[in-house]
Amino acid sequence: MIIESNKVVTVHYTLNEGTAEGQLVESTQGGAPLAFIYGIGMMIPAFEANLAGLSTGDTFAFGIPAAEAYGVYDEAALVEVPKQIFEHEGKIPDGLLEIGNVLPLQDQEGNRLQGMVAWVGLETVKLDFNHPMAGVDLFFTGHVDSVRDAEPEELAHGHVHGPGGHHH
């Protein structure tokens, strides 16, 4: 069976920055494979495009430029905000505003987002709202573990059930 829309695909992969020799980001080797429904928007479109037409047992190796992955790094996504917005009962909790901390936030419309503390000044904090992998070219190597038809319930729910997927 080949990879095409509405198929449940499981793959083992290794993700490196830039090239196969680049810094290791993550790997499923030795663990559970990644399981997803092909063609319903669960994965980076360029990732799916590179798997199109492969079958169980096929190997893959491909790069995805940052612009087609998590986007280019956007300086406009660095936002300086007053420190006082983080105060609780007149005090900023210890350890909250440390560089690298990812803070769950909410905008004025109630949308949830995450900002990483990029810089801390006397009166303000600079938060980075870029995806952590923004600006990073990706390189995937791996193999297709299995391909099967998605069950109607999986398509209705928008995710894989059973091994490698969601359990209700």
- Look at residue 11 in the predicted model and tell me its pLDDT: 97
Q: Which residues pair with 166 in a beta bridge?
A: 161
Residue pair 20/139 in contact by the 8 Å Cβ criterion: yes
Q: What is the pTM of this model?
A: 0.83
Residue 100, sorted as left (phi over 0), alpha (psi -120 to 50) or beta, turns out to be left
- Look at residue 38 in the predicted model and tell me its pLDDT: 98
Residue pair 143/12 in contact by the 8 Å Cβ criterion: yes
Tokens of 115: 């900002």
Q: Which domains does the chain have, with CATH numbers?
A: 7-70+133-157 (3.10.50.40), 75-128 (2.40.10.330)
Mean pLDDT throughout 29-35?
94
162 pLDDT exceeds 80?
Answer: no
Buried b / exposed e over 44-56, threshold 16 CB at 10 Å, is: bebbbebbeebee
54 pLDDT exceeds 90?
Answer: yes
167 pLDDT exceeds 60?
Answer: no
Indicate the DSSP class of residue 55: B
Task: Please tell me the distance from the alpha carbon of residue 162 to that of residue 168, in angstroms, as a whole number.
Answer: 9
Mean pLDDT throughout 61-87?
96
C-alpha angle 25-31-33 in degrees, rounded to nearest 5:
85
Indicate the DSSP class of residue 167: -
Task: Please tell me the distance from the alpha carbon of residue 105 to that of residue 127, in angstroms, as a whole number.
Answer: 11
Mean pLDDT throughout 42-71?
97
